[in-house]
Structure 1
């Protein structure tokens, strides 16, 4: 798979002409500078997005003095497995008072966290409702200052992000309370984020609401929390394995396991999270490569917003040949999409645990001589059209000498970005089980990394909710914002992968809900079956559903009254939870009517007194907070260093 300019232009043309390519090339979202290789044939109707990498300089030395030797709280958050379907992982973040929930792509290659704003006229329909600034008592737009780009009236700070595949995001910078979930030690904090008023391209069509920027820079959510001295200068990500999903994210320090492998990370070498990679071994044999091959341009970059791995030409050819050499006797077959020359092999079987009997292990050796061993799931993806067949998830990075390691490389690996000590740690473990382990006290015995087999409930994440007590209405009632349930099907994941949309439609009809209300959160292998976790959200723009509606949905599931097409076999309700949202009081429910009447009388009074012009002018000025940002107004776009 050679990402030439023609290849990239062809990929871009495919984005403009189709959004329904349904084979599992993993959604290779790429945020590395200069890397424009994309794979658009994914198990989803959405296409691939390339994230930018951008560096906002900050005073790193002063930050480190604040962190030295002090154990601070951390934010423990669930990761939801969207890697197979969308090419990214998401987490949940709550913004505002009362809190509004958003599903955000975790991206170490981006610096700004942003969500669609209520007044956005050019934003797509995403997983959750848009952010309502007027409904948050703690929100305010960031006033124009010397440290930001300002709007045309020089009243508010704005941002603009442009991406290599021609999508973009722009809006104002706002500040509000951000909550990290009820499993977090870290209490809600004030933070600056982007309130989108325009998005184009894949940003417009993606399922996720927005981006959670974990890169280096003053607008990064990590940097903001570190500067407030509320977390240590570190964070960790743990992606689930092939067919398993789930995982965890930790903002803040984490006591590293004794056998964690570390690699040096040099922030002066590149603004991106890089490691000092020196050697690659396949089946224990070192590839005949100069160590400098992994040190070109930005070096070896880790990026959570990228699905696959991309090597410089010499390294890729050596790696490909070494793997093929080890697989003599196994049939090489065409890839799932004829537009790409993927390297695929048949006859390996469908069980992930058996892959190591066919495919070789791969070792990454770092500058300090420490070694990280990769299992086959760290460089393979399933062939969509042939059972028991797998393809290399490692590609040539065009003519770019940068080495880019995406999410596939760190499946079932806890990755700790220790920014304070300029190193990145790797610990092979079962990430779908890690979440339960993280709930143990710090005094618990060390965690063993021996077990690699997920249990039947490993991918079921605890119900998450805003930190603090549940919010109630004036009469003390709690209303239901979302239903979370898990069902077990007696068919395997391989048979299910290509029919997720059909299953979603079937469940929504049986629950008497709209398809837009029902979402697959994650799924895991459960013996010969599959365990799937779903969510049902309120209809339309509603922020909650009635108790009667929620009770009816749960009853239909619990009593096996949901009848699925025969191809999906039988199901069993495993567990369910509800997430609460504040139920509006009478005044809140009738705000529009009451305020409408008040304003109508006010307008009549102002008009009679000759004050109509002044009132109208005030309204025009108030709208500038969320107006679309024009590049001509002076917005400084964040781009890749060499955009397509």
Structure 2
């Protein structure tokens, strides 16, 4: 796990008819520390992770256990060398807007998408490296070639750019060459694996795949079975896309590791090896921190509070949760629970997504939530809106400020109270902070990765639950 430097705590409580919900109504936001982080060069963290060696020794059935690091793209500035936080922020918001638009189009179309041991990978931030926000470093092939791939809880396919590359974008590592791997095997058109791929094609007896991400990004190529290496764990015969035609906002990463709930995702393919369970802890924007991605039931934190997953037949890849309300400063905001419900037709609902940065809420809910926050921050000097944010503050010269708590009320009782830095974020390096939520013109709500940072989150797809760990990580 990585260290999160916080002067406040994350509290997750479950309410019952006999208990009074009790947690602090205000927190301290360490303005000085956060602004210091925005000015630091992320290259040192990137170099440290780039030079880490993968320990390749065991099969998935081995007793060895390994945790892998997650890295935010801000830490991998290979192709965007700007150290100006405002520039990075603007680029992130532009990517985020495209991501949300693509999700809405996908959901509106209603197209379906795709005795264990724990193992995992370090997760790195991918902000300067494409549309994905978080990267993990894995080995592809035999012998393994180290590659950064984007993790995406809203996608199913696993793919990497491959030689011969008719159309490829620039990535951090050399492009994977199947000819150099002894474990590479093309998938036949008649195979069951090929039948699981949407819009699968056939060329010279080999299964072809094509995935479009809605923002102009796409990957096309050959489906293959290959060995993937996660730390000391080898996973054989994983179906991956070998992309020979690729374009879009994935610049820097070699490809994508889909963590959705469909059969072609990495989680779906693991099946019994991981019990359909994985956990992650997304890196904070703190410059020296790294996150965690781990697979298997042993990755589940002790004392986690569990929220049922909600199945949407129109969007089988996505993880929907029941949200009943929002809170500010210990007070529940008067919003109808119906605003967050998934309709019988598959509209609306609340999706947890690692690929979206900023939490989106239906406009009526957002405005009530925002107004409640404004009413409890009259002591803070206001600033003009920035990008998609309409509620901002000028905290120049402050060392720390007192802010009200912000909470998610989940169906069934659990309450997730966010760390202050997960909802009041810097948009430049001189003291402008904004309330990190945005309105949505549709009925869809998305819990983004900014709000998930530093919280250990477990997904138990087999049993239909998502869990929130009791402590920051």
- Could you say which TM-score interval applies, normalised by the shorter chain? 0.7 to 0.9
Unmatched tracts of structure 1, length 5 or more:
1-17, 38-49, 58-70, 432-644
- 1:247 aligned residue: 291
SS in 2 for 1:429: strand
Confirm or deny: 8 A CA contact 1:78 1:249 kept in the other structure. yes
Residue 196, structure 1, aligned to residue 243, structure 2: yes
Query: Is residue 389 of structure 2 the alignment partner of residue 345 of structure 1?
Result: no
Partners of 2:293 and 2:116 lie apart in 1 by 16
TM-score by length of 1: 0.54
2:337 to 287, 291, 295: 291
Of 381, 396, 399, the residue aligned with 2:425 is 381
2:329 touches 2:404 (CA, 8 Å); kept in 1?
Answer: yes
* Distance (Å, rounded) in 2 between the aligned partners of 1:53 and 1:88: 25
Distance across 1 between alignment mates of 2:118 and 2:139: 16
| Higher relative helix content | 1
Q: Give the TM-score taking structure 2 as reference length.
A: 0.72
SS class of match (2:297): coil
Partner of 2:66: none
The aligned counterpart of 1:409 is 451
- Structure with the greater relative contact order (CA < 8 A, sep ≥ 6): 1 or 2? 2
What is the distance in 2 between the residues matched to 1:107 and 1:174? 20
Give the SS at the match of 1:157: strand
How far off its partner does 1:83 sit? 4.8
Change (3 A) 1:267 1:208: same
* 1:425 corresponds to 2:467: yes
What residue in structure 2 maps to residue 314 of structure 1? 364
Task: Supply the distance in 1 between the matched residues of 2:139 and 2:200 (Cα, whole angstroms).
Answer: 26
1:249 Cα offset (Å): 0.4
Post-superposition offset of 1:426: 0.8
Asked if 1:78 corresponds to 2:122, the answer is yes
Structure 2 distance, partners of 1:341, 1:305, is: 19
SS of corresponding position for 1:222: helix
Deviations 1:525-548 (A, max 9, x none): xxxxxxxxxxxxxxxxxxxxxxxx
- Kindly tell me: are residues 201 and 76 of structure 1, through their superposed partners in 2, closer, same or farther at Cα, counting changes over 3 Å? closer
3-state DSSP of counterpart to 1:293: helix
SS in 2 for 1:179: strand
Larger Rg computed on CA atoms: 1
Q: Secondary structure at the match of 1:195?
A: strand
Query: Which ranges in structure 2 are unaligned for 5 or more consecutive residues?
Result: 1-79
Residues 424-463 of structure 1: pairs in structure 2 closer than 5 A: 424-431=466-473
The answer to whether structure 1 residue 325 and structure 2 residue 375 are counterparts is yes
1:238 alignment partner, one of 281, 296, 302:
281
Give the 3 Å change call, closer, same or farther, for CA 92–23 of structure 1 in structure 2: closer
CA gap of 1:259–1:388, structure 2 versus 1, over 3 A, is: farther
**Quick one: distance in 2 between partners of 1:53 and 1:172?**
26
Name the CA distance, whole Å, in 2 between partners of 1:135 and 1:350.
56
The alpha carbon displacement at 1:320 in A equals 1.2
Q: Answer yes or no: is the 8 Å Cα contact 1:348–1:390 preserved in 2.
A: no
Note the aligned Cα RMSD (angstroms).
2.9
The 8 Å contact of residues 266 and 274 in structure 1, kept in 2 or not, is answered as yes
CA 23–349 in structure 1, closer or farther in 2 if over 3 Å, else same: farther
User: Kindly tell me: are residues 267 and 350 of structure 1, through their superposed partners in 2, closer, same or farther at Cα, counting changes over 3 Å?
Assistant: farther
Closer/same/farther in 2, CA of residues 349 and 23 from structure 1, 3 Å limit = farther
Whether contact under 8 Å (2:148, 2:172) holds in the other structure is yes
Following superposition, the deviation at residue 164 of structure 1 comes to 2.1
Which structure features the higher share of strand residues? 2
Q: 166, 171, 183: which is aligned to 1:121? A: 166
Given that residues 305 and 470 in structure 2 are in contact (C-alpha distance below 8 angstroms), is that contact kept between their aligned partners in structure 1? no
Aligned residue number for residue 255 of structure 2? 210
1:55 paired to 2:106: no
Residues of 2 paired with 1:336 and 1:276: CA distance?
Answer: 30
